[in-house]
Every structure is written in C-alpha cells, then in structure tokens.
C-alpha cells in the first residue's frame, strides 16, 4: 500500500493515533514534530516531506505521542518520559530499518529508541525549548507555569531543561542557511516554526525529502 492510512499503535500507557505514508516494507522514517505550539506550525510541512518520500518509495509514520495531536492524554498530564516510551514502543513495533525524522524539539523524544539512523532538522535542546517557552509566556503576560494555555509543572520543565538530542551513531543534522551552527548540510528557507500561523514550503520539503532518501540509500 502506498496511500495515506490512519492507524493506531499501543504503548504501555495506552493507544495513540498515527498516519502512515508510502509502503509498509523497506526503510521507514519515523517522524517527530516539535513539541507544543511549533507542532501546529510545522505539521503541514512535515506531511509534505512524508508524501515526497512516499513518491520516492520510502514509507513513513507521523504519530501522535502522549499529550500531542489528538492524544487523549492532556498536554499538562504528559511527561517527557511517557513520550519517549511511546516513541520507543512504536519504533520497536515498526521493526528493523527505522530512521528518525525529527524536527526541532522532536529530536528530544527518540533518545531511548533503537534506530538505524537519525535525521534532524534544526534540532533543539530542551534548554533552548524552555527558553522559548519562557519568552512566549512573558510576552503573553501569562502566569508562572502557564505556557500558551498549558499548565506545565516545574518537574516537567526541569526534565525538559536536561534533555538533549541524541547525536551518536548514524546521525545527519540539517539546518537552514540562516543558522550559523554546525550542520551536515544547509538549505535556504524561512523557519516555519517561528511563523504566527501554520505554513508550508513545498520546494524546501521536496529538497529535504531528496536529502533523506539519499542519506538512507547511502
């Protein structure tokens, strides 16, 4: 099957939804969107990348994790540990030859999973994520602990601060050409995760899909 399918996966804490693109066999890209509001801004862009991968014969999965998307777990009740457990459980269920495709803070979810490789777009550390959350909270005049309408405990913020993307093994880091930090490759484009509304960049998505396909094949 090569079309878009709506499916579910199970983990120790329950069941979550996922979208599948492209073939079920062969290498599979396991996508992780950024956490919190950046997920809404990048979902369409991520789906465009995954559809482009399907056109190249590469299957992919875009799951909800506890507290994200359509999950029945409230954002305030989800923990980073739960999200990592769910990611690892799904990676194990998908089988061998699984590659992470993580955007921004999505790279914080894959650290406990056994993967064939990791592809990161502008990976963000937990400390950087918390700084962004704090700036947004202050700018909106929110009370302490209130982040874009989500109540996040001090324990969860502390866990996020300590989290870093895993970069060992076969890992490829991609950044936009406006980002001066070290990368394996850079591409021109604007950071959609900074936009006030969800947006897309089809040309960039096609280039990134080609990069991923070449990297997996290599």
User: Which of 38-52, 73-87, 96-110, 143-157 is least confident?
Assistant: 143-157
pLDDT surpassing 90 at residue 145: no
Query: What spatial distance separates the first Cα and last Cα of the chain, rounded to whole Å?
Result: 24
Domain boundaries, the chain: 5-125+170-217
Say if strands 98-103 and 28-32 run parallel, antiparallel, or are unpaired. Answer: parallel
Can you tell me the distance from the alpha carbon of 12 to that of 43, in angstroms, rounded to the nearest whole number? 26
Summarised one tens digit per residue, pLDDT across range 83-98 is 999 999 999 999 989 9
**Rounded mean pLDDT, 129-135:** 93
More confident residue, 167 or 36: 36
Q: What is the model's pLDDT at position 2?
A: 56
Arithmetic mean of pLDDT over the chain: 94
Q: Find out whether 25 and 16 touch, Cβ atoms under 8 Å.
A: no
Q: Report the C-alpha gap between 147 and 164 in whole angstroms.
A: 21
Average pLDDT over residues 209-215: 98
Residue 139 has pLDDT above 90, yes or no: no
Name the residue with tokens 């001066």: 180
Q: What is the mean pLDDT of residues 41-65?
A: 97
Q: What average pLDDT does range 158-164 have in this prediction?
A: 96
Sign, CA dihedral 138-194-45-12, equals negative
| d(C-alpha 37, C-alpha 164), whole Å | 19
| Ramachandran quadrant class, 68 (left: phi over 0; alpha: psi -120 to 50; beta: rest) | beta
Architecture of the structural domain at 5-125+170-217: 3-Layer(aba) Sandwich (3.40)
| Residues 51-59, mean pLDDT to the nearest whole number | 97
Each residue's pLDDT tens digit, 108-130: 999 899 999 999 999 999 999 99
**Residues in the chain, overall count:** 218
Instruction: Please determine, for residue 1, whether its predicted confidence score (pLDDT) is greater than 50.
Output: no
| pTM for this predicted structure | 0.95
**In this predicted structure, which of 53-67, 125-139, 179-193 has the lowest mean pLDDT?**
125-139
């Amino acid at each position: 099957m090569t079309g878009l399918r709506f499916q579910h996966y199970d983990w120790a804490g329950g069941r979550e939804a996922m979208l599948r693109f492209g073939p079920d066999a062969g290498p599979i890209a396991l996508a992780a969107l950024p956490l919190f509001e950046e997920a809404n801004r990048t979902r369409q862009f991520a789906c465009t990348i995954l559809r482009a991968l399907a056109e190249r014969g590469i299957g992919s999965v875009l799951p909800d994790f506890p507290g994200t998307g359509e999950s029945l777990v409230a954002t305030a009740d989800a923990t980073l540990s739960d999200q990592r457990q769910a990611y690892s459980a799904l990676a194990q269920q998908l089988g061998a030859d699984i590659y992470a495709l993580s955007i921004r803070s999505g790279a914080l979810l894959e650290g406990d999973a056994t993967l064939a490789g990791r592809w990161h777009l502008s990976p963000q550390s937990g400390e950087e994520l918390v700084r962004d959350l704090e700036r947004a909270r202050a700018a909106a005049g929110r009370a302490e602990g209130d982040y874009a309408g989500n109540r996040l405990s001090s324990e969860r913020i502390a866990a996020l601060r300590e989290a870093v993307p895993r970069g060992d093994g076969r890992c490829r880091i991609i950044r936009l050409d406006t980002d001066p930090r070290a990368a394996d490759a850079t591409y021109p484009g604007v950071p959609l995760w900074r936009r006030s509304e969800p947006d897309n960049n089809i040309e960039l998505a096609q280039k990134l899909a080609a990069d991923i396909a070449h990297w997996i094949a290599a």
